[in-house]
Homo-oligomer: A and B are copies of this chain.
């Protein structure tokens, strides 16, 4: 059930409707749009009994929602969700293309800083790097954990890039929320509903990756889990799905980008690194992702991919990432997107100057 408020409804009227909904035992989710505010109702078992909601001041109409997803739907919120961050113009969603880059895993302070400097120079506004790594084998490197998060926080301070890193359980989620700017939920946890609910109670935005065999509806329902707990800052990320095809590690399904945009207001990014698993495919598929209309890219970069502790095969060399950014910058305007130039975000220029005059990060 969805309560659509009148265009001129006051904040007080919205609040009153929300209170009435909560007093009926449901949850109210006010979603302000450019034209109107819509209030989603969840928490019902079976049909919502609307009572006298329709006659309250400021209410325009009640709409029954038949799709299984509600809060992620454009029915509830027509305008695109744009996730903003303090101290930067970078967004997830909106006209600016979000570029998230960095190594698969944070391996050391030196490694992280070397890569950060390069991706920052190339124009990335977000830095990625795993402190908690979900690895197929229990005997593989599992991440530096909190030490990794501390390194990431330093990188934000030095370079001004916002930090995106993965939480793999409720314990790591609390720490990620504390240190990072965006909480990543990985493909393997896309239907770890307990984790999704916890992320829904976090104060930081969530980047939710598509599961390896998730349908569009399951993907959206996973986002709905997060939103249903009150965290409306969710961005989605396509990262390839499992098929019989063996020339890439996964099959990158770019058609999901317009498919998401058609039914949902949430931003949708693309990860061509996991999506192909092969370094030589990352740049062409990045171009394609921007051309198809994605809201951003998530790319793995490593200064020594052949010595990476995880996923080296798919990591770009920094020079290759420069080239990727150069190509993407040319395609973005065609689809009405802007891409930040070198030093485009103010703190970066400063950081790079500081960096230049400082000793090398290894010496810190």
Q: Using CB atoms and an 8 Å cutoff, list the residues of chain A in contact with chain B.
A: 42-45, 68-70, 134-139, 141, 168-172, 188-189, 191-195, 197, 212-213, 215-218, 221, 224-225, 228-229, 241-248, 251-259, 262, 275-276, 280-281, 284-285, 287-293, 327, 330-331, 334-335
Contact = CB atoms under 8 A, between A and B. Distances in A.
B293 A291 contact: no
A229 B138 CA distance: 9
Contacts of A170: 169-170
B255 A276 contact: yes
A290 B290 CA distance: 12
A336 to B, nearest CB: 11
12 contacts: A42-B139, A44-B139, A136-B191, A137-B224, A171-B194, A215-B245, A243-B251, A251-B255, A252-B253, A287-B292, A330-B334, A331-B331
B289 A293 contact: no
A216 B247 contact: yes
Contact of A134 (B172, B191, B212): B191
Nearest to A261: B284
- Copies assembled: 4
Contacts of A44: 139
B136 A255 contact: no
Contacts of A242: 213, 242, 244
A151 B194 CA distance: 23
A258 B162 CA distance: 32
Contacts of A217: 136
A93 B168 CA distance: 32
- 10 smallest CB-CB distances across A and B, nearest first, come from A169-B194, A291-B291, A213-B213, A188-B191, A288-B288, A288-B292, A213-B242, A287-B291, A216-B247, A242-B244
Nearest to A139: B42
Contact of A291 (B228, B245, B331): B331
A251 B248 contact: no
Q: A191, A245, A335: which has the most chain B beta carbons within 10 Å?
A: A245
A69 B140 CA distance: 11
A68 to B, nearest CB: 5
Contacts of A252: 253-255
A193 B331 contact: no
For A191, A224, A330, which residue has the most chain B Cβ atoms within 10 angstroms? A191
B45 A141 contact: yes
Contact of A251 (B45, B228, B241): B241
Given A245-B253, A248-B259, A252-B253, 14 more contacts: A43-B139, A136-B217, A136-B218, A136-B221, A137-B221, A138-B228, A242-B242, A243-B244, A247-B255, A252-B255, A291-B291, A291-B331, A327-B334, A334-B334
Given A288-B289, A291-B287, A247 B259 contact: yes
Given A169-B195, A331-B334, A138 B245 contact: no
Nearest to A275: B255
Contacts of A43: 139
Contacts of A137: 68-69, 221, 224
